[in-house]
Amino acid sequence: MRDPILDQAIRDKVVLLTGGAGTIGVALLQRLLQYEPKAIRIFSRDESKQYFLRDRCAHVRNLRFFVGDVRDRERLTRAMEYCDIVFHLAALKHVESCEYNPFEAIKTNIMGTQNVIDVALDHAIERVIFSSTDKAVNPANAMGASKLMAEKLMSAANYYKGRRRTVFCSVRFGNVLGSSGSVVPTFLHRLGQGQPIEVTHPDMTRFMIPMSQAIDLLLAALHLCTGGEILIRKMPVVRVIDLARTLLQRHGLPADDAHLRVVGLRAGEKMYEELITTEESARTFDLGDYYLIRPQIGAPAGKTRGKPVAVQTYTSDGVAPLEIPALQALLETLAAEGEPGG
């Protein structure tokens, strides 16, 4: 059933997805098509992914493809012409890769985001929604630090835009179940190769969100955010080793030394993730399924929806992780949405 609020926000609009050929971009595309936008533009540097997506969507007449990189402002300028809404999904997101190549993370995640902001202001885009991560909270790695800076750029843009109409906001994901490069596809890839699953520490925990709820979060930002905010979906916590054991069980394999190894923390990796800092919690409001963090500067005037939350740090080690039955149900959600092949 279509949401009438989203129908009004998306119908007959031109929507651009940076990084749109990625896992989240494809899932968002499928949802957006339900609301009959005038056109959807897929902007990404991965020519191969675009080719296969174009083949899958050959029946969709209002879909356009742009090969390009958010580092290239001139190319973004052409792709964003006459757009109404931009979902900025493009990023370097692998922690270890960014740790060894930090300036590449700066060029894509920070400078690329500023390019998106500048071009959006030039074209008077209606809304720009940036996809961030819980790794941006008290970051311990280059990827998280670059995403934190991108969040700051988005909030600041909403302050200095002057009379321009563009609304900038961010959403924070946890580990999106099934997204490319996330923990479940990584484990499944190793199983498919006949290799043991590697867990870095038995006590490591992560916030986990199904793909469908990640897309809900992106779309909710269209009507819950009025400028400069960070919107977060409430997410369950998973102990990574429990996830590995449950996946092994689903594949009929024992969780013994031949199939499950503890290998130690990798470069830039944290034992647990943080969703909201203590400082942020002082301006965070509970909207039911979501938390809304108001910006430090230029907060929109008017009454704030929701209830203030307790002033504290919200971390994955401060929440009881899912028990095995609930974890099995979460993986059933992944299977229903389409289990990735690696």
Closest Cα to residue 155, out of 225, 233, 83? 225
Check if 307 is active-site: no
Paired tokens of 333: 């959600």
Closest Cα to residue 89, out of 63, 108, 103? 108
Paired tokens of 95: 């922690």
Is the distance from CB of 230 to CB of 170 less than 8 angstroms? yes
Paired tokens of 186: 């990584």
How far apart CA 127 and CA 221 sit, in angstroms, is 10
The alpha carbon of 309 is separated from its chain's Cα centroid by a whole number of angstroms, namely: 23
Catalytic residue among 13, 135, 147, 270: 135
Q: Which residues are catalytic?
A: 135
